[in-house]
Structure 1
C-alpha cells in the first residue's frame, strides 16, 4: 500500500511527458554556438547530469526547443561558445571569459545563479527569453 501511494504521488508531481520548453537567446553576436543545458532538479543543477543538452548556432535567431518533457520544475544554464571549442573558456582565476546566462535571467553571486532563482515551472509549452551577457 505504501509503495502504491508513493508511486501515485510521483505521478501527480511529474505528470505525463508532453510539455515543452522554448528558449530564445539574445546574444548580440553571430559566431560560434550557444551551448544549452536543461536540468530538472536542484541536485542535477548543482553538479549532476542535465536532462538534455543542445548546441544552437549563434547566427540569426537563436532558439533551443526541448520536447516531450514531464511537467515539473526546470532550470537552464547556457553560454555562448564564441570560439567554437565546445567549452566554457575561463581566465586563470576560473572566471568565465565567454558570455553566459541562466533561466529567468537569474544572476549569481560569486558563481552560478542558484536553483531557487533559475528554476521555472513547466506544464504545456513554456517559453523564455534569456539575455546572454
Structure 2
C-alpha cells in the first residue's frame, strides 16, 4: 500500500470510529489536544498523524492503534517468507548479498524516490526478459 493510500485508509478509520462514538471533529480534537482542522486533515489523508497522536486518538476512541491500520494476513506473510527462503537456497553468497543490498536500499527510501527506484528495477527486468525471449 502506498503512503498516500495508507494515510487515506487511516483517516477513513479515524472518521469511522469518531462517528461511531458520536463525536465531532472538534470533540475529538479537544480530547487529544488538536484543532478540528487537524482532525479533518487526518480524516482526509491530507496529513498523517504522528505516533503520539495515533495513540491519543486510539485512546480517545477506545480502540487499539492496530484498528486504524489495514489487517495483515500473518499466514500469507509466513508463506511469502518461506518461499523467499526456498528461492534464496539456490543463490550464491554474493547474489544473496546483492539482493539484500537492493532490499536495504528500497527500505531506506520513501515515497517518490522509492517508486522511481523500484520502477527502474522493473524496467531492467522487463528489458532483460524482452531481450531474451525465445
TM-score for the superposition, normalised by structure 2: 0.21
Which structure's relative contact order is higher, taking Cα pairs within 8 Å and 6+ residues apart?
1
Larger strand fraction of residues: 1
The structure number with the bigger radius of gyration is 2
- Structure with greater proportional helix content: 2
